[in-house]
Structure 1
């Protein structure tokens, strides 16, 4: 973790750009300061603040594994001024990065456990960091399942990486709207619970996706017998400063940028109902 002033960004060069899906690109970045890159440490689920001079700043989850030391990846969907400007950049261009921030997935605590990753849409991007870490340290974790749903086949992310994941774990995919080439499952991601055997014994569930997804996925997991503190959610909520000063991201008494963005369901359930976004809680 960096010890410098958390508000001060550092320049990072774009060294690779991959088109993943409509309006989604993965940018590989490297800090211009070699020592800073060597010291850059993060936990899957954490995020950075990326700024483009003259445009603004946006929080973006890190989507590469912390085992990758020489660079880091950000998967960016073009949805606003900053992210659209990001998409117009080229290899060799420079952005400014500060962080990492927040509380990620406690991967060390998960060693020896079975893992279930549940992703909806762009929610696969932050989970990709944890999945690739598990792939690199495969012998340290138990059975691994990835359940992933998206709008249509052409929106599915990380095609080549998913092929690698399939060699080391079980990957299940579904789409809302199939085309003539699609031979897989059809429907929302919770449909996969009907065809995938998931047992709560010694198992941790990690999910990221649109908030409306959480209500239904959490209910499925609770019905299967998962303890509330074995269900982890990464929350998508507007963050500004990244260090808990602006209060832009508060959920009840919790700051998403400090106490999260990763929470257990037990933590979220303890927030008073009138302070909790209804879509998150079943």
Structure 2
């Protein structure tokens, strides 16, 4: 994870980002890359991004030392409907790197805990070594205002103390009230299919389901067409979408 500071030493309060939005990271001579903001606006001292090393821009970012300077654009995109979610029970379902885009909303809800009802986190990844934000997830063990359920697909070393299996297996461990709960999802494409099936089988209203499709973006402003599906551009119309907007678009999920 990278923590970004402004050159003038100020805070990010005037940046005005919302949970679920993203920025474009620009490195001279290397290009630009869209990266989700994983810190909430309630913590304006730093802007945090979780980056996977996948190309020229992210390679250059990893090679920079502390105090290095680069440019960003943003914030961009449609985030989570925070005002609509206030007062509601929240279910977070994240798979692998999908925890990063959801983290901004999760920490926002925890920072403003009295404004939300129950908070439930289900997070699964492929093995214990690839768990994101390990110490932060462990810190939830000391809280009584969040339900947490973690899983790994496999545990070859036998070191995992939580559930071993796919993330949908965690639904059997949680007490859920579908009609009073809004679900937010982010993860690999195959996860969406099975999690959506599970949510709908539990009678979650379709309008209570929101998904982040941040993996699809490139330019961030709807010019390159990389994130186009149907009549939507993920970077402009999303990256957060109500399930009801995209349920009939197979290329979106």
Match of 1:109 in 2: 84
Q: Which residue of 1 aligns with 2:181?
A: 203
Note the 1:216-227 alignment, pairs <5 A.
216-227=194-205
Equivalents in 1 of 2:248, 2:163: separation in Å? 35
Instruction: After TM superposition, give the deviation of residue 34 of structure 1 in Å.
Output: 5.0
TM-score (norm 1): 0.84
Looking at structure 2, the residues matched to 36 and 64 of structure 1 have their Cα atoms a distance apart, in angstroms, of 13
**Aligned partners of 1:237, 1:137: CA distance in 2, in Å?**
28
Q: Structure 1: how far apart are the matches of 2:95 and 2:215? A: 15
Segments of structure 2 that go 5 or more residues without pairing to the other structure are none
Question: In proportion to residue count, which structure has more strand?
Answer: 1
Give the Å deviation of 1:31.
Answer: 2.0
Residue in structure 2 matched with residue 173 of structure 1 by the alignment: 150
- The 5 Å alignment of 1:242-257 reads 242-257=220-235
Q: 1:155-194 residue pairs with structure 2 within 5 A?
A: 155-166=130-141, 167=143, 168-178=145-155, 179-194=157-172
Contact 1:103-1:262 within 8 A present in 2 as well: yes
Distance (whole Å) between structure 2 residues aligned to residue 94 and residue 34 of structure 1 = 13
Q: Which of 105, 126, 139 is the aligned partner of 1:130?
A: 105
Q: CA deviation at 1:194?
A: 2.3
Which TM-score applies when normalising by structure 2?
0.94
Task: Determine whether 1:277 maps to 2:242.
Answer: no
CA RMSD of aligned residues (A): 1.5
CA contact under 8 A between 1:30 and 1:70: conserved in structure 2? Answer: yes
Match of residue 69, structure 2, among 94, 97, 104: 94
**Unaligned runs of at least 5 residues, structure 1:** 1-25
Residues 236, 261 of structure 1: 8 Å contact kept: yes
**Structure 1 equivalent of residue 2 of structure 2:** 27
Given that residues 135 and 165 in structure 1 are in contact (C-alpha distance below 8 angstroms), is that contact kept between their aligned partners in structure 2?
no
**Which residue of the partner structure matches residue 241 of structure 2?**
263
Q: Structure 1 or 2: larger helix share?
A: 2
Offset at residue 35 of structure 1 (A): 6.0
- Structure 2 distance, partners of 1:38, 1:129, is 15
Does the CA contact (< 8 Å) of 2:217 and 2:227 recur in 1? yes
Aligned length: 250
